[in-house]
Amino acid sequence: MAAQENAWLVQLMSDLHQPVDYSVPLYCDNQSAIRLAENPVFHARTKHVEVHYHFIREKVLQEEIEMRQINTDEQVADLFTKGLSTGKFEKFRRQLNMEKRMSWC
């Protein structure tokens, strides 16, 4: 999904005559997924991989996306995709400069 949104934003910037002339980093905590995305060779084991992985591989080969390794404990995107402990939730919330919503009731 992040790769698709990146492609949309790159196209939008191009339409606004502000082309993006660099690879946008895509942080991933899965080393196998990074290797698969960066490897231009298809193997028998990869023929059943879902279509969106092929999309990411294509964007990596076109140098629109640069895959970067990130430690699982530092993956801020987990805030939006997983149930987290209170401590981890608060850590990621602070990193994104999100403030607590005060209840007035």
Whether residue 8 is found in the same domain as residue 44:
yes
Structural contact between residues 64 and 24, judged by C-beta atoms closer than 8 angstroms: yes
Domain total in the chain: 2
For residue 52, with 0-12 CB atoms within 10 Å meaning exposed, 13-18 middle and 19 or more buried, which class applies? exposed
37's tokens: 């995305």
At residue 34, does pLDDT exceed 70? Answer: yes
Across 50-79, average pLDDT:
84
Whether residue 22 is found in the same domain as residue 40:
yes
At residue 40, does pLDDT exceed 70? Answer: no
Whether residue 29 is found in the same domain as residue 46:
yes
Across 63-88, average pLDDT:
87
First to last CA, the chain: 37
Across 72-96, average pLDDT:
86
Whether residue 29 is found in the same domain as residue 65:
yes
What band does 14 get if pLDDT is binned at 50, 70 and 90?
A: very high
57's tokens: 């591989």
Please report the pLDDT score of residue 57 as a whole number.
86
At residue 84, does pLDDT exceed 70? Answer: yes
pTM: 0.68
Domain range for 13 is 2-70
Please report the pLDDT score of residue 55 as a whole number.
84
